[in-house]
Structures are given as C-alpha cells and as structure tokens.
Chains A and B, each alone.
Chain A
Amino acid sequence: AQSVTQLGSHVSVSEGALVLLRCNYSSSVPPYLFWYVQYPNQGLQLLLKYTSAATLVKGINGFEAEFKKSETSFHLTKPSAHMSDAAEYFCAVSGAGGTSYGKLTFGQGTILTVHP
C-alpha cells in the first residue's frame, strides 16, 4: 500500500518569502513522486516529478523539490513567492512496481495563500 501525507492544509506566506510545502509518503516499492498545482476551477497541472534520477528536482515556475529517502519526504520549495503562486498543491506517489504500479495516490492538498 502507498500513502501520502501533506502537512498543513493551508499555508500563508508574504510575497517574496520562501514557500515550503511538506509532503511525506509511504511506499513498499521504489516510488515515483509528483507535485501538481490546481488553480481555481481548473484541472491539475504537473509542477515536477521524481523518477529515481537526481534527488533534487527542478520544476516549472521556479519550484523545486528534494527526494529524501531516509525521511520519506518530498517537500516542495520556492525561494520567493509570487502572487500568481496562490493555488492548491497536491503531492502524489506512484509505485514503480507491485500492485501500486502506475496508480497515483494523492495527498489531501495544501492551499497556498500569498499576501502582498
């Protein structure tokens, strides 16, 4: 079985401040990990993904995430928040083998608010 926990359903930052969204996962097989972003009334869009290559993954819009196997974490960061980053962010895991192969399991989501 696999699961994802996102710590904090709401995160609020000031424009220009560091963004840190936390994600911890569990998986019985090597995982593929994803961060998706959802703007209001839209579908999900991929920010970045980890597929067992480099542990530090760079994505779109200045976001990056670091895979830490010892901590089973895949936290999302951005050095300087922009107003346009306000959205809901989802961490997801997919097993690279076994019965969870290719099946995405999502965390509950974190709503990011950016204040001027």
Chain B
Amino acid sequence: NAGVTQTPKFQVLKTGQSMTLQCAQDMNHEYMSWYRQDPGMGLRLIHYSVGAGITDQGEVPNGYNVSRSTTEDFPLRLLSAAPSQTSVYFCASSVSQLQEQYFGPGTRLTVT
C-alpha cells in the first residue's frame, strides 16, 4: 500500500491564483481530512469528509473548497490564493472518525 499520497510536494502561487492540492489513499478509509500547519499553531482542521459525497467544514474553512466523489480521493481547492494561505498542508485518512489518522507527507505552499 502507498498509504496517503499528496501532490505536489511544493508549490508557489501568486496572489489571486487558484489551484488544487491532490490527496489520495489506497486503504479504503471512509474518513479523510485536510489540515494546515503553521509555526507555533499546531495543525488546524480545514475540511473533512466521512465518506464519498459527504463533506463538512473544520476550524479554518474560509478560502478553501473540497469535494469527495470517490472513497480514494479528497482534493483541496484554493479559490483565490492569499499570502495568509502560505502554509504546509497535510491530508489524513482513517477507518472512522475516532480511529488513528494516517498522514500524507504534506504540500508546502507559498503565496507571494
């Protein structure tokens, strides 16, 4: 199993550009989530999904969209990038919401 994969590893955007961060898992996990990691702030939940077709907002959802059309994939879309979205983004998956979450390697995003 590849586990949780994320692409790209690094990305530089200009303010106002849009992009999609890709996340995929091959463990047949129902629960998937996106976090952003900023220095001194730990990880904060952006959006999550409890199964295909079901998504919900986390702690910091503004400026981000998600969809879950398959069990395997959970892309995160930045609609109009802002410098405040410069961060490291992690995708995670688990069998269910209360079980161990498996994290991807992260995407380091810089918005100039």
Choose from B33, B43, B103 the contact partner of A45 (Cβ within 8 Å): B103
Interface range on chain B (Cβ under 8 Å from partner): 20 to 34
Are B98 and A96 interface neighbours, CB within 8 A?
Answer: yes
Cβ contact within 8 Å between B96 and A102? yes
**Hey, which chain B residues are within 8 Å of A34, CB to CB?**
100
B74 within 8 A of A: no
* Total count of chain A residues near the partner, CB < 8 A: 26
Contact check, B105 vs A43: say whether CB atoms are below 8 A apart. yes
A44 touches B90 (CB 8 A): yes
B29 nearest CB across to chain A (Å): 13
Q: Which of A14-57 contact B (CB under 8 A)?
A: 32, 34, 36, 41-46, 49, 51
CA distance A69 to B42 in the complex (A): 23
Which residues of B have CB within 8 Å of A92? 43
C-beta contact mask, B39-77 vs A, less than 8 Å → 1, else 0? 011111100101000000011000000000000000000
